Structure 1
Amino acid sequence: MTANDRRPVALVTGGGGDIGRAIALRLTQMSAAVAIVDRDEVAANASARLVEDAGVRALAIRADVSSALDTAAFVETVEAELGPIGIFANNAGIEGVVAPLHEYPDETFDRLLQVNVKGVFLGLKHVLARMTQRGAGAIINTASTSAIRGRAGLAGYVASKHAVLGLTRTAALEVSGTGIRVNAVLPGPIESRMIRELEGQARDNAVSLRRNGAVVHGRPRDVANIVAFLASDEAAHVNGAAWVVDGGTTVA
Structure 2
Amino acid sequence: MNKVAIITGGGSGLGRSAALRLAKEKVNCVIVDVDEKGGNESVDMLKESGVDALFVKADVSKAEEVKHYVDETKNHFGRIDYFFNNAGISGSGKYFLETEVEEIDKIVGINLLGALYGIKYVGEVMLAQGSGAIVNTSSSAGVIGQDTVVTYSATKHGIVGLTKSLVAEYAKDGLRINAIAPGPTETPMVKQYFDANPKMKESAESGIPQNRLGTPEEVAELVTFLLTSDAPYINGEVIRIDGGFTNTKF
For residues 75 and 251 of structure 1, do their structure 2 counterparts lie closer, same or farther at Cα, with a shift above 3 Å needed? same
Matched position secondary structure for 1:11: strand
Give the Cα–Cα distance (whole angstroms) in 2 for the partners of residues 208 and 105 of structure 1. Answer: 25
Q: CA deviation at 1:27?
A: 0.8
Per the alignment, residue 24 of structure 1 pairs with 19
For residues 151 and 209 of structure 1, do their structure 2 counterparts lie closer, same or farther at Cα, with a shift above 3 Å needed? farther
Per the alignment, residue 238 of structure 2 pairs with 242
Q: Is the 8 A contact 1:202 1:208 kept in 2?
A: no
Q: Is the 8 A contact 1:98 1:205 kept in 2?
A: no
Matched AA of 2:212: V
Per the alignment, residue 49 of structure 2 pairs with 54
Matched AA of 1:191: E
User: What is the aligned length?
Assistant: 247
Per the alignment, residue 38 of structure 2 pairs with 43
Q: Is the 8 A contact 1:96 1:112 kept in 2?
A: yes
For residues 32 and 220 of structure 1, do their structure 2 counterparts lie closer, same or farther at Cα, with a shift above 3 Å needed? closer
Q: Is the 8 A contact 2:10 2:31 kept in 1?
A: yes
Per the alignment, residue 108 of structure 2 pairs with 113
For residues 31 and 205 of structure 1, do their structure 2 counterparts lie closer, same or farther at Cα, with a shift above 3 Å needed? closer
Q: Is the 8 A contact 2:142 2:154 kept in 1?
A: yes
Q: CA deviation at 1:200?
A: 2.0
Matched position secondary structure for 1:251: helix
Q: CA deviation at 1:209?
A: 5.0
For residues 12 and 207 of structure 1, do their structure 2 counterparts lie closer, same or farther at Cα, with a shift above 3 Å needed? same
Q: CA deviation at 1:83?
A: 2.1
Matched AA of 1:68: A
Matched position secondary structure for 1:177: helix
TM-score, scaled to structure 1: 0.93
Q: CA deviation at 1:29?
A: 2.2
For residues 211 and 106 of structure 1, do their structure 2 counterparts lie closer, same or farther at Cα, with a shift above 3 Å needed? farther
| Percent of paired sites with the same residue | 35
TM-score, scaled to structure 2: 0.94
Per the alignment, residue 69 of structure 2 pairs with 74
Matched position secondary structure for 2:245: coil
Q: CA deviation at 1:211?
A: 7.2
Q: Is the 8 A contact 1:99 1:205 kept in 2?
A: no
For residues 205 and 18 of structure 1, do their structure 2 counterparts lie closer, same or farther at Cα, with a shift above 3 Å needed? closer
Q: CA deviation at 1:225?
A: 0.4
Per the alignment, residue 178 of structure 1 pairs with 173
Q: CA deviation at 1:204?
A: 7.2
Cα distance per residue 1:97-116 (max 9 Å; x no partner): 11112212211111100000
Matched position secondary structure for 1:61: strand
Q: CA deviation at 1:202?
A: 2.0
Q: Is the 8 A contact 1:13 1:38 kept in 2?
A: yes
Q: Is the 8 A contact 1:184 1:240 kept in 2?
A: yes
- Aligned match of 1:97 in 78, 92, 95? 92
Cα distance per residue 1:110-129 (max 9 Å; x no partner): 11000000000000000111
Cα distance per residue 1:168-202 (max 9 Å; x no partner): 11111111222110000111111111111111222
Q: CA deviation at 1:133?
A: 1.1
For residues 206 and 93 of structure 1, do their structure 2 counterparts lie closer, same or farther at Cα, with a shift above 3 Å needed? closer
Greater Cα offset, 46-55 or 104-113 = 104-113
Greater Cα offset, 200-209 or 237-246 = 200-209
Counterpart check, 1:224 vs 2:220: yes
Q: CA deviation at 1:150?
A: 1.1
Q: Is the 8 A contact 2:208 2:243 kept in 1?
A: no
- Gapped regions of structure 1 (runs ≥ 5): none
Q: CA deviation at 1:32?
A: 3.9
Counterpart check, 1:128 vs 2:115: no
